Amino acid sequence: MTTVAVVTPVYEDRDSFDRLCQKLSDVSRAAALRFYVIAVDDGSLAAPPEAASISRAGLEGEVLRLARNVGHQMAISIGLAQASNMPGLSACVIMDSDGEDTPESIPGLLAALSAGSVDVAVAERAKRSETFAFKFFYQVYKRLFKFATGQVLRFGNFMALTPRSLSRMSGMQETSVHVAAAVVKAKLRRADVSTDRGRRYAGESKMNFPSLVLHGMRAVMVFSDLVLTRMALALVAMAASVVVVVAVAVSMRFMGMTTPGWVTTVTGFALSLFLQTGLFAMITLIVSSLGRVDTPPQVRARALEYIAEIETVGPAATS
């Protein structure tokens, strides 16, 4: 039977995780799949996920209790590092535990992954249930992201990885920053699978507007090299425009013509903006070059250091 690791971060959402395990059990029987659940408890205090939820659903798996809250993306990265140590996996699925990523969509992702030319199958939302304001700002973000990085990002964390792509993603520092952006950065061959967004099993989303803005900024951070390159090109264009304006102004002086008053203002503003942007780009480049670059084994080892306890469970006993 095909063994699939399911990595899901959980933070203060015990009830939703319990429902997820039951849904995974139903899909497991219907699709003849063997799910191994890796729940990453991201420092929950009030409502941590229970390992008993896995056994009650007749599944196998483990709950990784983290020593502190590290955030959604880092929690996924820790789960991937743990999954990469498992032998005999056919695939690894990343999904949220709140019900918006539906277990019923997993067979479709795995089917797309079975093609030899695909490294990762990602869920692309065919039907979204967010508010108008969210959709509006999401469209603005996508355009700004493309302008800053030159990349297109149309998917989230819900995806299925081959063992080879699991090994690559778990060894990338960028994965802990933004999982979807890391997939693009890793240059994995991707298949987009149309899925509908599910309804939350329980409670309300903990994602607010500031969190969404931070999440978007982290995606840009993954492509800092491209952003710096585009910024450098913009600086060159800005410098060329300043030179042209100054040359025109000087030529008009020599010809005895009166230069418009706005020429001095525009030239001064452009020059000031050029110097400030150039200084910012240099500082960013220096700071990024001083950053620590770990090898893939080191990245996995550092991720696993956050685990304080592992609760492993097998299938529930049947009579």
- In this predicted structure, what is the pLDDT of residue 147? 84
Instruction: Say if residues 38 and 82 touch (Cβ distance below 8 Å).
Output: yes
DSSP per position, 32-89? TEEEEEEEEE-S-SSSPPPHHHHHHTT-EEEEEEESS---HHHHHHHHHHHHTT-TT-
- In this predicted structure, what is the pLDDT of residue 316? 43
What total number of domains does the chain contain?
Answer: 1
Q: Is residue 250 part of a domain?
A: no
Q: Is residue 30 part of a domain?
A: yes
Answer whether residue 319 shows pLDDT above 70. Answer: no
- In this predicted structure, what is the pLDDT of residue 239? 74
Answer whether residue 184 shows pLDDT above 90. Answer: yes
The DSSP code for 14 is: H
As a whole number, mean pLDDT of residues 206-211 equals: 68
Instruction: Say if residues 89 and 166 touch (Cβ distance below 8 Å).
Output: yes
As a whole number, mean pLDDT of residues 259-263 equals: 70
Q: Is residue 130 part of a domain?
A: yes
The DSSP code for 290 is: T
CA-CA-CA-CA torsion sign (282, 287, 288, 290): positive
Q: Is residue 92 part of a domain?
A: yes
Highest mean pLDDT among 83-87, 206-210, 255-259, 284-288: 83-87
**Among 301, 253, 269, which Cα is nearest to 77's?**
301
What average pLDDT does the chain have?
87
Measured CA to CA in angstroms, residue 221 lies from 69, 185, 214 at distances of 21, 11, 10
Q: Is residue 203 part of a domain?
A: yes
Residues in a beta bridge with 192: 122
Instruction: Say if residues 238 and 277 touch (Cβ distance below 8 Å).
Output: yes
d(Cα 37, Cα 95) in Å, to the nearest integer? 11
Q: Is residue 33 part of a domain?
A: yes
Q: Is residue 219 part of a domain?
A: no
**Among 169, 155, 166, 173, which Cα is nearest to 113's?**
166
- pLDDT tens, 93-117? 999 999 999 999 999 999 999 888 9
Other beta carbons within 10 Å of 224: 18
- Between strands 190-196 and 33-41, the pairing is unpaired
The domain that holds 187 is classified in CATH as 3.90.550.10
CA-CA-CA-CA torsion sign (187, 230, 224, 296): positive
What's the count of helices (H) and strands (E) in the chain, helices before strands?
A: 11, 8
Report the predicted TM-score, pTM, of the whole model to 2 decimal places: 0.83
Answer whether residue 282 shows pLDDT above 50. Answer: yes
- In this predicted structure, what is the pLDDT of residue 202? 86
Q: Is residue 9 part of a domain?
A: yes
Q: What is the domain range of residue 104?
A: 2-138+154-207+296-313
- In this predicted structure, what is the pLDDT of residue 271? 72
